[in-house]
Structure 1
């Protein structure tokens, strides 16, 4: 798999085109805003949306676990989308996935959707923490502008960057890196995105299919 190797806060990390970040020293995969059960929540409201997003998200996690030897997944908030995400079909799929990875450590930094949805089932054996959760030199958060002792790695925004060529434009998920914090793109398969305008000094890394590349800000 293609990945971009960069240094952040004195640590080597890999930015993955699959919209996640891997910290090799800790064998830790960082995933923001996976929003399990979002499609089920829409269907519960009578809105006909595609099925299979939970299975797709889990399959993408499987691929990254295998490719990078992941031992710990840390979710940067919004693991569940809403109370309807506790649907039995969603839970069955997640429990089957957990059974395939019994030794995998899972940690969830609670986000705003998690507080409304409630904690995931205890059967998933996820360590629940509040932001900021710090493993030096990083502080793991859901909200990117939280005051924290370490370099903040967060989600919440679902950042996308608009590439333009003449009259054509394309919105692509991106990582945003500033002096004291970084925002990861949303990992979820059914989550949308929020166009961002980079602040002075920020670096943007855009993901597209199996590629990830820096954007030159002018």
Structure 2
């Protein structure tokens, strides 16, 4: 299962323990995780897109009755990654904060309590469009802030998938991709990873973020998140 156009995509595809799927991007082995994150083993780093802390609080500030607890759910999702994988660094592909309301005291205190439990963990945020409107996270969270494209090895870590990045392989978010899997009588919208020859788009990690239906372009593969495993569709 491979396709080549400058960078190898899916040169090695296979199921892993925990429902993850191993693929090759730009010559690097990575894992697509059912937790809706990408894990790069060599630097011990998961990549997380569009966590959108404070989105529910932002809606409530506008008078929209939405569920509470999404910040706790996001933090529990990060804890699940840390419990399952050898991690020294988490990289966020933008939209860490949803809006200025994400700076609310309750949201910040929950995030600070999580940070205190992981004091040596390195955190990097590639700023996204929501981050520019929301403002940078509190300095107390000790997050390194960078602009896109952020280069590490063969990868350009971006928020926007269409950002030019020279010869680097782009890892991006922003789109919140979901795939409509239809049967005769029913249909599901499943979060998905989209991987092509020069870029991959990650699903939204955050709770209460929604999704945008996408269709594969030429040479792209979709990797669907279904419960606790990843499965691939598209050209082999």
TM over 0.5: yes
Q: What is aligned with 1:203? A: 221
Measure, in 1, the Cα distance between the counterparts of 2:201 and 2:181: 19
Q: Which runs of 5+ in 2 are unaligned?
A: 1-17
Q: What SS does the aligned partner of 1:25 have? A: coil
For residues 67-92 of structure 1, what are the alpha-carbon distances to aligned partners after superposition, in whole Å with 9 as ceiling and x for unaligned?
10211000000000000000000000
Measure, in 2, the Cα distance between the counterparts of 1:115 and 1:216: 35
1:166 is the counterpart of 2:204: no
Q: What is aligned with 2:161? A: 144
Q: Which runs of 5+ in 1 are unaligned?
A: none
Paired residue total: 218
Shift of 1:120: 0.3
Q: What is aligned with 2:100? A: 83
Structure 1 vs Structure 2 CA RMSD = 1.0
Greater than 4 Å deviation, 4+ residue runs: none
Q: What is aligned with 1:101? A: 118
Q: What SS does the aligned partner of 2:81 have? A: helix
Shift of 1:56: 0.6
With the length of structure 2 as denominator, give the TM-score of the two structures: 0.91
1:178 is the counterpart of 2:196: yes
With the length of structure 1 as denominator, give the TM-score of the two structures: 0.98
Q: What is aligned with 2:13? A: none
1:43 is the counterpart of 2:60: yes
Measure, in 1, the Cα distance between the counterparts of 2:217 and 2:142: 39
Q: What SS does the aligned partner of 1:170 have? A: strand
Shift of 1:14: 0.3
